[in-house]
Amino acid sequence: MRVLVVEDDEDLRTAVAAALRGTGFAVDTAVDLATADENLYVNSYDCVVFDRKLPGGDSLDYVRARRRDGWAVPVLFLTAMDAVSERIAGLRDGGDDYVVKPFAIPELVARVGSLCRRAGGGPPPVLRHGDLEMDTGRHEVRRGGVLLMLTGKEFTVLRLLLAANGQPVPRRELIRAAWDEMADPASNVLDVVIAQLRRKLRNPPLIHTERNVGYRLGE
């Protein structure tokens, strides 16, 4: 899942992005509305975290305008504006959640995850392929009933492969979902994760290479 964090406070932006990455999210960051708008034009996101007051204006005005155009990406507002009227306005005019500073970063991470899961059009809570089962809500994967310990990147890549129902998933889609702006698309990061998954999933092998395309699940 990919998240955009728009926050002009460098320390807070860095801390939130690091916490989200540490739990498996791909994270892009922006410091102002203009940069956020560029990112949203280029990339697809499962959730956007907006500070309210940013260089360029109030992010609530930006979200309100985008909602009128049919934009449906979940939005979490992050702000020191704690008046009840401000919270009501944030939720009424386009926000899906509203967190007041100061806050606990683990709670913010949990709220972002909840928004991503609630977004429409996602895969079912439990994905299966043969004796492989992924509970996306509990963040658990089992093969033959045995619980597997996966990293966040491994979980994301495997989730996309399971959701494809045996069809090949292009490399670019796997990289886009599991990595962010800091990843070099020409690097071997995906190949490393695939190798780790193959080792953890054990035999018989489930992940197969589709030459010049990507990877797929199959017996």
Residue 122 pLDDT greater than 60, yes or no: no
pLDDT of residue 121: 47
7 and 114 together in one domain: yes
How many structural domains are present in the chain?
Answer: 2
Residue 118 pLDDT greater than 80, yes or no: no
What pLDDT, in 10s, does the model give residues 66-116?
988 888 899 999 888 878 888 888 888 888 999 888 888 889 988 998 888
84 and 143 together in one domain: no
Q: How far apart are CA 114 and CA 167, in angstroms?
A: 28
Residue 167 pLDDT greater than 60, yes or no: yes
Of the three residues 118, 135, 167, the one that is the final residue of a domain is 118
Q: Following CA atoms 60, 65, 66, 68 in sequence, which dihedral angle do they give, to the nearest 10 degrees?
A: 130
146 and 114 together in one domain: no
* Contact (Cβ atoms closer than 8 angstroms) between residue 216 and residue 166: yes
If one compares 26 and 32, the residue with the highest pLDDT of the two is 32
Tell me the CATH number at 183. 1.10.10.10
Least confident residue range of 9-23, 53-67, 117-131, 189-203: 117-131
Secondary structure of the chain as H, E, C letters: CEEEEECCCHHHHHHHHHHHHHCCCEEEEECCHHHHHHHHHHCCCCEEEEECEECCEEHHHHHHHHHHCCCCCCEEEEECCCCHHHHHHHHHCCCCEEEECCCCHHHHHHHHHHHHHHCCCCCCCEEEECCEEEECCCCEEEECCEEECCCHHHHHHHHHHHHCCCCCEEHHHHHHHHCCCCCCCCCCHHHHHHHHHHHHHCCCCCEEEECCCEEEECC
Threshold 0.75, pTM exceeds:
no
Residue 21 pLDDT greater than 50, yes or no: yes
Of the three residues 86, 118, 150, the one that is the final residue of a domain is 118
113 and 136 together in one domain: no
Of the three residues 118, 134, 154, the one that is the final residue of a domain is 118
If one compares 22 and 131, the residue with the highest pLDDT of the two is 131
What pLDDT, in 10s, does the model give residues 172-196?
878 877 776 555 555 688 889 999 9
What pLDDT, in 10s, does the model give residues 135-165?
877 788 999 999 999 988 898 889 889 888 8
83 and 188 together in one domain: no
99 contacts: CB under 8 Å, gap ≥ 6: 76, 77, 78, 79, 107, 108, 111
139 and 73 together in one domain: no
If one compares 37 and 181, the residue with the highest pLDDT of the two is 37
Percent of the chain with pLDDT over 90: 35
108 and 190 together in one domain: no
134 and 186 together in one domain: yes
Tell me the CATH number at 93. 3.40.50.2300
Domain residues for the domain of 145 are 126-217
153 and 96 together in one domain: no
Range picked from 25-29, 167-171, 192-196 for highest mean pLDDT = 192-196
Q: How far apart are CA 1 and CA 61, in angstroms?
A: 26
Q: Give the pLDDT mean for 39-66.
A: 90
99 and 18 together in one domain: yes
114 and 130 together in one domain: no
